[in-house]
A and B are shown apart, each in its own frame.
Chain A
Amino acid sequence: MTHQIDLEAEIQRLLTEHERIAEQGITVHRRENVVVLGGEVESVERRDEICRQITGHFPEIEITCDIGITRAQAPSEVEEIS
């Protein structure tokens, strides 16, 4: 059985190294029997692919996905640099 700390490391590496994911900014936290994923990605497709791959690789793990999609609206403010 995979130890907790190894599981988190394995998920982190899967998220980075899987050719269809390549995400380094996803957080992985254990909450009792649930693994909670956090962070933001650029599209709904990427978030869904992350959940699909983790579920496929670790079918015994319950996943909660709190991954958001980064907003891409134009800014309304400017910062003066001094």
Chain B
Amino acid sequence: MIRIAAVGDVHVDKDVVGRYRPALEQLPDRADALLVAGDLTRHGTPEEAKCFAKEFGGLAVPVVVVLGNHDHQTDQQEQVTEVLTDAGITVLECSATVLEIRGHRLGIAGAKGFGGGFAGACASNFGEREMKDFVGTTEAISARLGETLRSVRCDALVALTHYAPVPETLVGEPLEIYPFLGCYQLGNAIDSAPTALALHGHAHHGSERGRTPGGVPVRNVAHPVIKQAYNVYQLLTDSVDSELVPV
């Protein structure tokens, strides 16, 4: 059994430091690792990243994150990544990590992802240079995420993105902004590997549960959606021995 805690869109700055910590300190009793699905900060400054590292770093479980669009706002994503890495936090961008947990190998492949929309209402790689750049970015990130997912050797594989891979977890958001919230290519990438669970954020008004066309469970863990410090998901179930109650 592996238990994963997950949250996204925590948007940490000075005013948030201390809010999550009491719940995070309880993590070792509840989960084996914490995954954060992007938008760690408000503007993506190194100062805000230090606030995130102070709040989410130094925990007794591994912390694995991807960046979100907010973390790119000031074009300092490399410095943000450096601050987080120095704090012992693993930052994924079209890359993967494998955690050894009680004899199991938990593989996590992560990427920020990008927009583009979903079947029947998606952008195409056609027309103006700007539109081709937009969709080209979608395609490139999704292709690299797929390659990364397929390269991981593990017992349970999790895909971690900021943008959504399916429209089901966007229900509640205005239809008009779906193309800015995710893309079907991420779902295809997730389906190209034996993925056990896909986690994303970004859609504050979306829904928690969905599945890819290939049947992979998808969970939107944006903080305003889950309405608690983190959710806990159990993989490779063989027994229930925690104080948490299965639902």
Contact = CB atoms under 8 A, between A and B. Distances in A.
Nearest to A44: B15
B230 interface: yes
Given A42-B15, A79-B234, A81-B235, A22 B246 contact: no
Given A22-B42, A75-B244, A76-B244, A40 B224 contact: yes
Given A70-B224, A74-B30, A75-B232, A39 B11 contact: no
B26 A74 contact: yes
Contact of B224 (A39, A45, A73): A39
B111 to A, nearest CB: 20
A42 B196 contact: no
Nearest to B158: A81
Chain B contact patch, size range? 35 or more
A45 B245 CA distance: 34
A5 interface: no
B204 A25 contact: yes
Interface in A19-65: 19, 22, 24-25, 27, 39-40, 42-43, 45-46
Interface in B30-88: 30, 42-43, 70, 73
B217 A81 contact: yes
Contacts of B26: 74
A72 B23 contact: yes
A6 interface: no
Contacts of A79: 231-234, 246-247
Contact of A42 (B19, B217, B242, B246): B19
Contacts of B230: 74-75
Contacts of A24: 204
Contacts of B204: 24-25, 39-40
Contact of B16 (A27, A43, A75, A81): A43
Given A22-B43, A24-B204, A78-B244, A73 B197 contact: no
A7 B26 CA distance: 45
Contacts of B19: 42-43, 72
Given A72-B20, A72-B229, A74-B30, A42 B11 contact: yes
Contact of B247 (A42, A73, A77): A77
B127 interface: no
A-B CB proximity, top 10 nearest: A25-B204, A74-B23, A78-B232, A78-B244, A43-B15, A40-B224, A77-B247, A72-B229, A80-B234, A45-B15
